[in-house]
Structure 1
Amino acid sequence: MTTQDPIYTNHSNRYDAMVSRQPDLYDIINKIRVFKNLDVLDLGAGAGRLSTVIAPEVKSLICTDISRPMLDILENKLQKMSIPLNWKTVVSDHRQLPIPDQTVDLVVSGWSICYLADASENNWEQNLERMMSEMQRVLKPNGTIIIFETMGTGYETPHPPEFLQPYYAWLQDQYGFDHQWIRTDYDFGSVDESIHHTEFFFGQELVDRIIQNQWSTVPECAGIWWKHL
């Protein structure tokens, strides 16, 4: 997974254009935890796939990410929304958050924790433990964690990457998260657009499947894990 890290710095606008073709996740998040008037941390906020959905209703919003270019896109979006909201963006590692103890009600994280919990890395368990400890530290009593991760791009039913399966198992078995999966398809409108928007990130294997299946809408599955403290 770490081979994609430069994309978030060098191709942040292309990445944002790609994920903007997915459905928003307002209803999913709000069903797990009603977020109106809550203090929220978006961990690995990127260009705001989750932040821009919840921002109009939350009390405050802290958006952390390791990539400043991604956060710059998010800042521009939030500024254009002209929301009377207490928000800030912070370049930060998930394992050491510059956030005081017990100051947020809800932590959301989309497609981000996986980069430090990739089982091909020898220290993934320690990374995950540190991230979980940090999330629990910043949460108020009765806080909630909601995590979104890939369950396979180019698949209509869950097909999680092998190197993430131990991480997913630990979320449920070691940390007591509940779990479900949903479809988060990319709607591009044409086969050519599908190729144009996905090749830089997913590579030739997905392009070949798009051509073979003539996908103008590229199927994707996502897993959702949540826990109420």
Structure 2
Amino acid sequence: MPNHDEIYEQEAQKYHQLISTQQDLHTYIDAIRAYEGLDIVDIGAGTGRLTTVLAPKAGSIIALDASASMLAVTADRLRQAGLANWQTAVADHRKLPLADGSADLIVAGWSICYLGSTNVPDWQTNIRTVMRELTRILRPGGTIIIIETLGTGTATPSPPDFLQSYYTALEQEYGFSRQVIRTDLVFDSIEEAERLTRFFFGDGIADQVVENNWITVPECAGIWWRHADSHMMHK
């Protein structure tokens, strides 16, 4: 399996090529919480998959990520779009460099999972700490939206075993609701599909691409959301 930490530090542009094959998810976010004019924080922002589509209508947006290389791509994209309502900062999800009550909307795409895998020691403590931080920076009436994988190379939800306990905790311990969506990756050619899926997902998915002649690689994701007034999360 490819080392994602190394990819995020050393291969940000190639990673961005991969995620650019996915649909824009802002309509799903807007349906959960109308975000125009809001102060938004995107944790685990990466190369701006969510930041860049939310920024044009946001009051302000702060992109946080552990990788400065990934944030550099996000910043370039925001500058090229002519936007000035944004900031970026290197940060750990467990210690966010933000003031209490500073966000109306927090989004986290495909990132908290790295702390919530059962392969990670003390994953439950990690998630508890992250949830406390998100609650701390969220304003009254604010919303948290978390997007995570439910499987690549599958047309029906098939979450990785090592993330099942984290997903269950989101719903049963922390009061999140969930919606399942498709986040298929649509490539220009089978060659591009093989190259980029092997780069990030490894041989298993790339071999499926070749076997099935996939230009469109099926993928499922979950969107979990919680409004601040619906359930207290001081666990």
2:101 matches 1:102: yes
CA contact (8 A) 1:94 1:131 kept: yes
CA-to-aligned-CA distance 1:126-183 (integer Å, 9 cap, x gap): 0000000000000100110000000000000001000000000000000010001100
Amino acid at match of 2:29: I
CA contact (8 A) 1:2 1:115 kept: no
Range with bigger deviation, 103-112 or 204-213 = 204-213
CA contact (8 A) 2:24 2:53 kept: yes
Amino acid at match of 1:56: P
1:59-74 alignment, distance < 5 Å: 59-74=59-74
Amino acid at match of 1:161: P
Alignment partner, residue 216 of structure 1: 215
Query: Structure 1: how far apart are the matches of 2:206 and 2:97?
Result: 40
Amino acid at match of 1:206: I
Alignment partner, residue 34 of structure 1: 34
CA contact (8 A) 2:195 2:206 kept: no
2:167 matches 1:151: no
Query: Structure 2: how far apart are the matches of 1:87 and 1:224?
Result: 24
Alignment partner, residue 233 of structure 2: none
User: Please, what TM-score do these two structures have when normalized by structure 1?
Assistant: 0.97
Query: Structure 1: how far apart are the matches of 2:188 and 2:48?
Result: 23
User: Please, what TM-score do these two structures have when normalized by structure 2?
Assistant: 0.95
2:82 matches 1:82: yes
What percent identity do the matched residue pairs reach?
A: 48
SS at match of 1:172: helix
Q: CA deviation at 1:189?
A: 2.5
1:98-137 alignment, distance < 5 Å: 98-137=97-136
Query: Structure 1: how far apart are the matches of 2:65 and 2:189?
Result: 32
1:155-166 alignment, distance < 5 Å: 155-166=154-165
Query: Structure 2: how far apart are the matches of 1:2 and 1:67?
Result: 17
Q: CA deviation at 1:2?
A: 9.4
Unaligned 5+ residue runs, structure 1? none
Unaligned 5+ residue runs, structure 2? 229-235
Q: CA deviation at 1:23?
A: 0.2
State the superposition RMSD in angstroms: 1.1
SS at match of 1:56: helix
